[in-house]
Structure 1
Amino acid sequence: MATVLSVSGSPSATSRTTGLLRHLDARLIAQGHEVLALDVRSLPAEPLLRADTRHPAIVEAAALFGRADGVVIGTPVYKAAYTGLLKSLLDLLPQYALADKVVLPLATGGTTAHVLAVDYALRPVLMAMGAAHVTPGWFTLDQHIAVSEAGTVTVAAESAAALKRVTDQFSAALGAPGPLRVRHTGQTPAVSLAVP
Structure 2
Amino acid sequence: MATVLSVSGSPSRTSRTARLLRHVVDARLTAAGHTVLPLDVRTLPAEALLAGDTSDPALARALELFARADGVVVGTPVYKAAYSGLLKALLDVLPQYALAGKAVLPLATGGSTAHVLAIDYALRPVLSSMGAGHIVQGWFVLDRHILVREDGTTTLDGDTGALLGPVVDAFAQALVRGPVLAAAS
Measured after TM superposition, the shift of residue 148 of structure 1 is 4.0
State whether residues 19 and 151 of structure 1, in contact with CA within 8 Å, keep that contact through their aligned partners in structure 2.
Answer: no
Q: Could you tell me which residue of structure 2 aligns to residue 22 of structure 1?
A: 22
Inter-CA distance 90–16: structure 2 relative to 1 (3 Å threshold): same
Deviation at 1:146, TM superposition (A): 1.2
Q: TM-score, normalised by structure 1?
A: 0.90
Specify the code of the residue in structure 1 equivalent to 2:18.
Answer: T
Q: Could you tell me how far 1:149 is from its partner in structure 2?
A: 6.1
Match for residue 186 of structure 1? none
Distance in 1, matches of 2:148 and 2:126, equals 29
Deviation at 1:49, TM superposition (A): 1.5
Distance in 1 (alpha carbons) for counterparts of 2:163 and 2:118: 17
Q: What CA deviation, in whole Å up to 9, does each residue of 1:98-120 have, x standing for no partner?
A: 00100000000000000000100
Tell me the residue number matched to 1:88: 89
Secondary structure (helix, strand or coil) at the match of 2:54 reads coil
Q: Which aligned runs of 4 or more in structure 1 are off by greater than 4 angstroms?
A: none
Query: What does residue 56 of structure 2 align with?
Result: 55
Counterpart CA distance in 1 for 2:30 and 2:160 is 20
Unmatched runs of 5 consecutive residues or more in structure 1:
184-188, 191-196
Deviations 1:22-79 (A, max 9, x none): 0001120111100000000111111012221211111100000000000000000001
Q: Which amino acid aligns with 1:126?
A: L
1:158 corresponds to which residue?
159
In 1, Cα distance between equivalents of 2:147 and 2:162: 16
Residues 101 and 132, structure 1, Cα contact 8 Å, conserved in 2: yes
Larger Rg: 1
In the TM superposition, 1:101-140 aligns within 5 A as 101-140=102-141
Deviation of 1:85 after TM superposition, in Å, equals 0.3
User: In structure 1, what is the equivalent of residue 11 of structure 2?
Assistant: 11
TM-score by length of 2: 0.96
Letter in 2 for 1:105: P
- 1:98 equivalenced with 2:99 (yes/no): yes
Look up the equivalent residue of 2:40 and give its one-letter code.
Answer: D
How many residue pairs match? The answer is 184
Unmatched runs of 5 consecutive residues or more in structure 2: none
Give 3-state SS (helix, strand or coil) of 2:170's partner.
helix
The CA deviation at 1:9 is 0.2
User: Structure 1 residues 35, 177: CA separation in 2 closer, same or farther (over 3 Å shift)?
Assistant: closer
What is the aligned partner in structure 2 of residue 193 from structure 1? none
- Alpha-carbon distance, 1:162 to partner: 1.4
Note closer, same or farther for the CA distance 1:176–1:52 as it changes in structure 2 (3 Å cut): same
